[in-house]
């Protein structure tokens, strides 16, 4: 392994460790764009689902990307999550979800 964290296999740089060690977590990254401005991004890797990548561009806009497709504005994701929440509140009439009752020990 060289100083960049890559392996040289048959004269070609190969990144092996990055793909093996990416366990469920949040990874942060900072890169420079072509103008020399820092672009910050983070990747959320869950246990059960896919990846969610969040980026902050040079205009301080937050973008979300799932499954390596085109980025979507974070406001659309938050509004869709809140829409699901509000629909739940509307259907339930504002009542909290019922709590599960523990079975009581019967006296025999």
CB pairs under 8 A, 24+ apart, for 34-41? Answer: none
Q: How many CA atoms lie within 13 A of 7 on its CB side?
A: 8
Distance between CA atoms of residues 93 and 30, nearest Å: 45
Give the predicted TM-score (pTM) of the model. 0.50
Q: Read off the pLDDT of residues 21-60 as tens digits, 9 standing for 90 and up.
A: 567 888 888 888 888 888 888 988 887 777 888 888 878 8
Residue 4 above 70 pLDDT? no
């Amino acid at each position: 392994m060289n100083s960049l964290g890559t392996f040289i296999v048959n004269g070609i740089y190969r990144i092996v460790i990055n793909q093996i060690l990416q366990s469920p977590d949040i990874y942060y990254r900072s890169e420079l764009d072509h103008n020399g401005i820092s672009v910050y991004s983070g990747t959320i890797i869950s246990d059960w689902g896919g990846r969610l990548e969040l980026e902050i561009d040079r205009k301080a806009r937050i973008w979300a990307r799932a499954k390596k497709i085109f980025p979507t504005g974070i406001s659309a994701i938050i509004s869709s999550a809140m829409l699901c929440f509000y629909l739940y509140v509307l259907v339930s009439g504002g009542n909290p979800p019922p709590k599960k009752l523990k079975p009581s020990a019967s006296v025999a």
